[in-house]
Amino acid sequence: MDILSLFSYGFIVHAYIVGVCIGALAGMLGLLLVLRNRALIGDGLAHVSFGAIALGMVMGMYPFAAAVPIVVLASLGIGKLTERATLFGDAAIGIISATGVAGGVLLASMAQGFNVDLFSYLFGNILAVATWEIIFAAALSVIVAVLVLVNYHTFFLTTFDESLARASGIHTKLIEALLMALTGIAVVLSIKAVGVLLVSALLVIPAVTALQLAKSFGGAMTLSVLLAISVIFIGITLSFFADIPTGATIVLLSVFVFLFALAWRRTK
């Protein structure tokens, strides 16, 4: 079978479309999070998603529809907890994340019958995407991407130096809350591709790889997006031909590209 024949399979085409959406979001937001020392927030929010998906299942809803608002609220909660309780960022992430997982496990034990479904979200399955899920992912991705691009220059300055941004009249708390909320949406969408356990890799690895290679902010953002899309695209293809798990393939491919970029930079 050649690569072009892959496009005759509807489920593969669906996976590519969703992969491009997720890659674009992960690449954009991941770079901002890494540069703000918030790299682990994706991991924390993914764990919250686990609890939120369980709640959606108990309530008989589409799990991701339940997860989006809950995870967005959790992302804002992490920001508030860090600010109000003067906690270090990672500690707030730890508290919210543990609450999400504990809630998910408790719901799974109380409502018998969906344990298998729930635990399938731990590893994701981008090859099993329904048409309406594509619409859901594409619509949210367009909203997130437009909000990031419209606020691109503001994100740049607030990430470079918060004091300079505030002295320029920028409402930095509002921008931080926007970033957290958009990250919450991106995390929920990414779970379909790589699962709860590997979401943070998709946010972090393309971004840190781009940082090895780019010398400008615009270059790093573009590269981060292209890398994220590429590893998802190649990962889907490889996993199909080799009959191996897609999420794990995408993440290991990202790590390989990162190591290559690291080695290349050291030779410079």
Q: Which is nearer to other proteins, 82 or 159 (CB)?
A: 159
Give the shortest CB-88-to-other proteins separation in angstroms: 17
Question: Cα–Cα distance between 52 and 69 in angstroms, integer?
Answer: 9
Q: Which is nearer to other proteins, 129 or 165 (CB)?
A: 165
Which of 117, 101, 122, 87 is closest to 44 using CA atoms? 101
Q: Which is nearer to other proteins, 198 or 205 (CB)?
A: 205
Give the shortest CB-168-to-other proteins separation in angstroms: 4
Query: Would residue 37 be called left, alpha or beta, if left means φ above 0 and alpha means ψ between -120 and 50 degrees?
Result: left
Give the shortest CB-177-to-other proteins separation in angstroms: 16
Give the shortest CB-192-to-other proteins separation in angstroms: 30
Question: Cα–Cα distance between 82 and 92 in angstroms, integer?
Answer: 6
Question: Cα–Cα distance between 212 and 261 in angstroms, integer?
Answer: 6
In which residue are the tokens 């410079």 written?
A: 268
CA distances from 160 to 19, 35, 41, 101, 216 (A): 29, 8, 19, 33, 12
Q: Which is nearer to other proteins, 59 or 174 (CB)?
A: 174
Give the shortest CB-93-to-other proteins separation in angstroms: 20
State the residues that interact with other proteins by CB under 8 A: 35, 150-151, 153-154, 156-157, 159-161, 163-170, 210-211, 214-220
Q: Which is nearer to other proteins, 159 or 246 (CB)?
A: 159
In which residue are the tokens 């399979």 written?
A: 9
Question: Cα–Cα distance between 73 and 86 in angstroms, integer?
Answer: 19
What is the distance in angstroms between the CA of the first residue and the CA of the last residue of the chain? 40
Q: Which is nearer to other proteins, 98 or 211 (CB)?
A: 211
Give the shortest CB-200-to-other proteins separation in angstroms: 18
